[in-house]
């Protein structure tokens, strides 16, 4: 049995398809695929790169997926901000470690 990346349902009726969020693929059960739902983690990750979410995308993909996952737009924005902070902190640590290695050579 395979597992849906959106809802976690285990089924033999799972399809791997391209995501509408980016150039990646996920496993979808028939219900999630037909409904256009996306994995919440994918939405949050892509939220880092969206300068502004256009109205069509918001209405067709983001809002239905947030509703499916029981999340609000505020939850989404907070999770994107949290991921951004984690990313920038990790990037700073990597730069610091690179500087320390270079200085010690």
Per domain, the residue ranges of the chain are 2-104
What is this structure's pTM?
0.74
Contact between 64 and 35 (Cβ < 8 Å): yes
pLDDT, one tens digit per residue, over 58-102 is 778 888 999 999 999 899 999 999 998 998 888 787 777 765 555
Could you tell me if 19 and 38 are in contact, meaning their C-beta atoms sit under 8 angstroms apart? yes
H/E run at residue 3: strand 2-3
> What are the tens digits of pLDDT across the range 5-19?
999 999 888 999 999
Kindly tell me the burial class for residue 4, based on how many C-beta atoms sit within 10 Å of its own C-beta (0-12, 13-18, 19 or more).
buried
The Cα 59–Cα 43 span in angstroms is 14
Q: Is the dihedral of CA 38, 43, 45, 46 positive or negative?
A: positive
Structure tokens at 73: 């737009």
């Amino acid at each position: 049995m395979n597992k849906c990346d959106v809802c976690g349902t285990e089924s033999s009726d799972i399809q791997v398809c391209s995501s509408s969020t980016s150039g990646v693929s996920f496993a979808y059960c028939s219900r999630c695929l037909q409904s256009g739902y996306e994995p919440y983690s994918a939405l949050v990750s892509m939220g880092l790169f969206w300068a502004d979410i256009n109205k069509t995308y918001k209405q067709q993909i983001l809002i239905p997926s947030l509703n499916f996952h029981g999340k609000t737009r505020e939850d989404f924005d907070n999770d994107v901000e949290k991921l951004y902070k984690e990313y920038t902190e990790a990037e700073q640590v990597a730069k610091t470690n690179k500087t320390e290695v270079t200085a010690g050579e």
